[in-house]
Amino acid sequence: MNPSRRDFLKGIAVGAAGAAVGAPAAARSAQGEGDAKHRWGMVVDLRRCIGCQACTVACGTENHTPLGQYRTVVHQFEIPGADGSPRRASLPRLCNHCAEPPCIPVCPVGATFQRADGIVLVDNTRCVGCGYCVQACPYDARFVNAELGTADKCTFCVHRVDAGLLPACVETCVGSARIFGDLNNPDSSVSQLLREHEALPLKPAAGTAPQVRYIGLDGRLQDKVTGEPSPIAAKLAEVTP
């Protein structure tokens, strides 16, 4: 069983019986304030990632993002191997839900906010689409939604989390490379992985304290935020309804 799912079954009360499972509501009041006893985070085990882009497709389907715009994507890099020959390296990318998010202070209308459980969200009823937050994000994890004209990003599928479910990308990952859970719970799978493995953040010099960490991350990719999409990603527009 996926360790993230096991955590939820053991430790997450499936409350919020009326919570909708689908595209999250835009207004801040509808997105909730979160519970400070939790601190949600993700570990991406690159030893398990095969670059299949199932996470990208699942995210787009779950959150109804416009064609060609993605809240998460797996970038591909070619780097020299130990013997000097080139090898492929996959780097899944998403919002890092930083403890010190630089996207919040630059928003002129207070549309970007952080819940008590650490999830960073955008209130689309207040956002004016200025793009300041897009520029402020050191992880290139934000974009202006072409259909809504407002900032968009990964939300950890907050509507699912609040209903006691896992983010769509975690549920769909065929290699169980994405592990989601409560960083405040020392017995959660994410906490155990962080204790047992070297799990690196992207761009540590940015000082944002990201809540997404990577096991097996090649140090040469730690400051990379762009790459060449895999052939599957390049064809997403052809296969996504």
Whether 122 and 111 have beta carbons less than 8 Å apart is answered as: yes
103 contact partners, CB below 8 Å, separation of at least 6? 112, 120, 133, 136, 137, 142
**Quick one: tokens of 84?**
């000097």
Write down all domains in the chain, each with its CATH number in brackets.
3-239 (3.30.70.20)
Residue 173 confidence (pLDDT): 97
The rounded distance, in Å, linking the Cα atoms of 236 and 57 is 8
> Residues in the chain with pLDDT < 70?
1-31, 226-241
Residue 179 confidence (pLDDT): 98
First to last CA, the chain: 30
What is the separation of C-alpha 14 from the centre of its chain, rounded to a whole number of angstroms? 22
Residue 11 confidence (pLDDT): 55
Q: Count Cβ atoms within 10 A of the Cβ of residue 55 and give its class: 0-12 exposed, 13-18 middle, 19 or more buried.
A: buried
Residue 191 confidence (pLDDT): 98
Residue 7 confidence (pLDDT): 66
Binning the chain into helix, strand and coil, the percentages to the nearest 5 are 25, 20, 55
Whether 93 and 139 have beta carbons less than 8 Å apart is answered as: yes
Residue 236 confidence (pLDDT): 39
Residue 103 confidence (pLDDT): 97
